[in-house]
Structure formats: C-alpha cells, structure tokens
Amino acid sequence: MPLKITTEMIKELRDSTGISVMQCKHALEEAEGDTKKALAILKKTSADIALKKINREVKDGAVIIKTGDLPPTSVGETETSKKAVIVSLHCETDFVSRNDDFTNLLSKLADMALQDGAEKMKSNAKNIIDPIIQKTGENIQLGEVYEISGDILGSYVHNNKIAVIVSLSGGSIELARDMAMHIAAMKPEYITEEEITPDTIKTMTEVFQKEIANIDKPVEIKKKMLDGKLLAYFKEKTLLNQAFIKNGDESIRGLLEKSKAKIKEVKRYSI
C-alpha cells in the first residue's frame, strides 16, 4: 500500500534537493511515497529538462577562483606550493548569474576542482548542474576550467566576470596579485615579444599599410610611420612592455626586474 504523502516528506525532499515544493510533491506521488524513488524521478526530470534547454544560448555567467595548499609529496612541489583553479559557469541571463543557487553551484564546482582535480570535477558536473537548471529554468553550462600550481600565486576577480591567476618565480604574493589585477584590466595578448608570431606581424603590417597608403608623404616618412604604428601596437599588447596600471612611469618589465621576479604562468578568463 502506498505511503501517505505528508508535508514533512515534501519538506525533507525539498530541503535535500532545493527543487520546488510542487515538483517534490508530484515526484513523491509518482513514487507512491518512496523517497528514494522520488529522488530518482527528480534526477531524471532534471536531466530531461536540461536536455531540452541544451541548445539555448548561454551568453552570461560568472567566474570564480579558489586557492589551496598542495601536499609536499606531489612531484616537484615544496612545502609552500599552492594550487589555484579558475572555474567558469555560463547561463542565459545576468539575473540567474547573481542567483544564490547559481553562485553556490559555481562555488561547489570550484571546490571540487581544487580538491579532486579539474577532470574529475568535469565528469561529475552534469549531475550537479541539472537540478539547478530545473530550479532556474535556464540553460546552464560548465565553461573553461584552468589549474595552476606554484610557490607564489596571485589572483584577481573583477565583478565575477574576469578572473586572472599569475604564478611567479621570485617576488611576493602581493606582486603576483598586482600582476593579476593589471592583466585583468589591460588584457595583454602576449607576455614577451618572442610570443608574437611572424604571421601576426605580417597581418598587422598589412593593416597599417592600408591606413597610411593614401597619406601624401615620402616613402621614407611612411616607412617610419608604419614602424611606429607596429611598435606602439605590440607594446600595448605585450605584458612586459606595458606601463604598470598602478604607476604609469614604470613598466611591468622594470617592476619585475626590481623585485627579482619572473612570470612563470598566466591564466586569464572573461565571461
């Protein structure tokens, strides 16, 4: 004989899943009062709803950084080594990106990535995301996930939309944080000039040649104008050549040299 559906049963299922009261009630009724079956029904319903929404565009979302200590037993790591992760989660609207269910989901996924690694988190993410799709009514998709480890890590998140992690050799955590803040604001495409490819130089040369083609100047002057445009463009795009955002009189290269520090790795992601 099926169990009588009580408000306590509905509340218990609601508290454990976060799904609406009526959905919990319907699931319990379908499961004839069996809570385990009701959970399975809700899980299947969440997956079905998520599947129906999968092609809807996710043009908003949020990004988070979590940092923790690495065990010194890890290969190549020291007692001071840390690990940081960037996890991004996409949704359809800014309204949902600020919703508590969404932000709690993002935080939980980041904790999992930090503790268990990005790949393991990714393999379990769908089962955790689907119930929140059911609650919010929007398509939600896991975005990029990055991991960085090192002795000196600095991070910066701007408005939950831009996240940067910087790993330094030498220097300090404060310097690494300043680098992360600078990179978030200035969006360099390269760290050093050596990263600029010949194809990129060729493309930009063609772009600037078109800009000055109709200027009535001697060839030598136009050559200097072209060189100046290329120099200014790549200086703006290369981190070490940029003026430090907190002190325009100092370059990033000079700041790092003064601090006896080098950039080992950078991860930047924006929604």
Which tens digit of pLDDT belongs to each residue from 138-173? 889 999 999 999 999 999 999 999 999 999 999 999
Which residues, in sequence order, are CB contacts of 185 under 8 Å at separation 6+?
Answer: 158, 245
What pLDDT shows up at residue 23? 76
Whole-number pLDDT of residue 2: 57
pLDDT at 239: 96
In angstroms, the CA 241 to CA 244 distance is: 9
**Mean pLDDT, range 224-242, rounded to an integer:** 92
Tell me: the pLDDT tens digits for 241-253? 999 999 989 999 9
pLDDT for the residue 67: 93
Q: Which of 47-51, 86-90, 134-138 has the lowest mean pLDDT?
A: 47-51
pLDDT reported for residue 79: 53
164 φ, ψ (degrees, to nearest 5): -135, 135
Of residues 218 and 38, more confidently modeled: 218
d(CA 161, CA 145): 14
Instruction: Judge whether residue 60 has pLDDT over 90.
Output: yes
Helix (H, G, I), strand (E, B) or coil at 24: helix
Structure tokens at 150: 């090192």
Residue written as token pair 């009701």:
38
Residue 194 DSSP one-character state: G
The whole-angstrom separation of Cα 117 and Cα 24 is: 33
Tell me which residue of 28, 37, 26, 22 sits closest to 9, measured CA to CA: 28
CATH value of 7-53 in 1.20.1560.10, 1.10.3720.10, 1.10.8.10, 3.40.50.620: 1.10.8.10
pLDDT over 60 at 208, yes or no = yes
Q: What topology is assigned to 54-150 in CATH? A: Tetrahydropterin Synthase; Chain A (3.30.479)
* In the chain, where the domains are located: 7-53, 54-150
